[in-house]
Amino acid sequence: MNLFVRSALRHRSAKPIAWLVGLLPLVWLVWGAAYDALGANPAEYVIRATGDWTLRLLCLTLAITPLRVSLGLPEFAKFRRLFGLFTYFYVVLHLLCYSWLDMGFELEDIAHDIAKRPFIWVGFSAFVLLTPLAATSFNAAIRWLGAKRWQHLHKAVYGVAALAVLHFFWMRAGKNNFAEVAVYAGVLALLLGWRMRRAIGRP
């Protein structure tokens, strides 16, 4: 089974398929907007959908290393950067959709809203923390920073994950809908717990 999976992951079509997977949510949103299939409040749907996909892709990105190590499939490593950048792509879309569809690109109103509403402030903080991780995800940045400093910088992903779940929790708190929040919190707790346990056990 492992030989089959490794062969599939090494195939030249593996990366294009991963790109397609990452772009499918955007394709769906564009199609839905074009054909009026986003419900009674399309603006709210798009803002929430881009946020949801940011969280899902963050979970997927964090799952790649545990999968690689646990299953003995080093080929998974080549997808980590790709899905990490897709995570950032969707958080940028999420912020742009909020700024445009909700706030009309009124910068003063956006700044006031971020300061006034804790769940938006927390979400914006996660975006700020994620930005240097996306900017330094390339080989040239790793060489420039040095592997040790690069690894320390990218540990900020733990803070990003915690802030993302808190943002999602506060957003759903108004409707007392915590089931989905619990799923994401559980998944991220398992993934981050695995990483922390491995880091503690490492000489």
Using CA atoms, how far apart are residues 83 and 98, in angstroms rounded to an integer?
Answer: 22
Using CA atoms, how far apart are residues 113 and 105, in angstroms rounded to an integer?
Answer: 12
Per-residue pLDDT reduced to its tens digit, 73-127: 898 898 999 999 999 999 999 999 999 999 999 999 999 999 999 999 999 999 9
Average pLDDT, the chain: 91
Six-digit token string for 19: 């790109």
Rounded-to-10 torsion of CA 154, 157, 160, 165:
180
User: Would you give the distance in Å from CA 83 to the centre of its chain?
Assistant: 8
Tally of domains within the chain:
1
3-class secondary structure, 136: coil
Q: Measuring CA to CA, which residue among 33, 59, 57 is closest to residue 46?
A: 33
Using CA atoms, how far apart are residues 158 and 115, in angstroms rounded to an integer?
Answer: 23
pLDDT of residue 32: 96
| Domain, as residue range, for 49 | 2-201
pLDDT of residue 171: 86
User: For tokens 């964090």, what's the residue?
Assistant: 62
